[in-house]
Amino acid sequence: MTLFCNVKGFCQDIVQALVAPLQEELKLDPTPIAHRTHGLTPGNLTKYDARIAAIDYTLAHDDGISLRNLDQAQVILLGVSRCGKTPTSLYLAMQFGIRAANYPFIADDMDNLVLPASLKPLQHKLFGLTINAERLAAIREERRENSRYASMRQCRMEVAEVEALYRRNQIPWINSTIIQ
């Protein structure tokens, strides 16, 4: 920090301003270690790398963007648009290093909702999300106000169809309404 403070102008060490009160309260001296970002140590570097790889995989397989390498997914989340697939997938990747793909069922799928052929061989990895139609309509209304997409009728129909698909195919599922 000294190097930067030798130039003319205002200089404030914001890190020390945050650390000093903690140091005083905890009665501990900080022991800074260079290159120890995210608490990395030689012992947990592999675990960190696996989490980063899981995040990369999850982002590449968000909302059915890519159906390639789905066999590498540890879990494939299914559900209607805006039921929480993406945040759940990212949470699993970031917190646990789980390679999570997610696949959306959209309005066009609802006329004849069947499990896509690309997912059938991976049925043991499938997990469904559902949501109360009222909550879904409220979320969608924020995104596309006064649209068919956000209508209560559309939301009820999509949720009912997806839940029926889960039952027909014996896919375990959970209602994400109270979790969001």
pLDDT in tens, the chain (180 residues): 455 556 667 777 777 777 777 778 778 777 766 655 666 677 778 888 999 999 999 999 999 999 999 999 999 999 999 999 999 999 999 999 999 999 999 988 888 999 999 999 999 999 999 999 999 999 999 999 999 999 999 999 999 999 999 999 999 999 999 875
Q: Which of 123, 43, 121 is nearest to 78 (CA)?
A: 123
Q: Establish if 82 belongs to a structural domain.
A: yes
Q: Which domain holds residue 124?
A: 42-175
Distance CA 141, CA 151 (A): 8
Q: Establish if 55 belongs to a structural domain.
A: yes
Token output for 113: 């909702």
Q: Establish if 180 belongs to a structural domain.
A: no
For residue 33, what pLDDT is reported?
66
For residue 93, what pLDDT is reported?
96
Q: Establish if 30 belongs to a structural domain.
A: no
For residue 149, what pLDDT is reported?
94
Q: Establish if 166 belongs to a structural domain.
A: yes
Q: What is the pLDDT of residues 169-179, one digit of tens each?
A: 999 999 999 87
Q: Establish if 48 belongs to a structural domain.
A: yes
Count of structural domains within the chain? 1
CATH number, domain containing residue 60: 3.40.50
- Residue bearing tokens 């960190």: 48
Token output for 42: 């030689």
Q: Measure the CA dihedral 45/48/54/55, to 10°.
A: -140
Instruction: Give me the sheet containing 173-175, strands edge to edge.
Output: 100-105, 75-80, 126-130, 173-175
Q: Establish if 7 belongs to a structural domain.
A: no
Q: Establish if 129 belongs to a structural domain.
A: yes
- pTM of the predicted protein model: 0.76
SS3 128: strand
For residue 3, what pLDDT is reported?
54
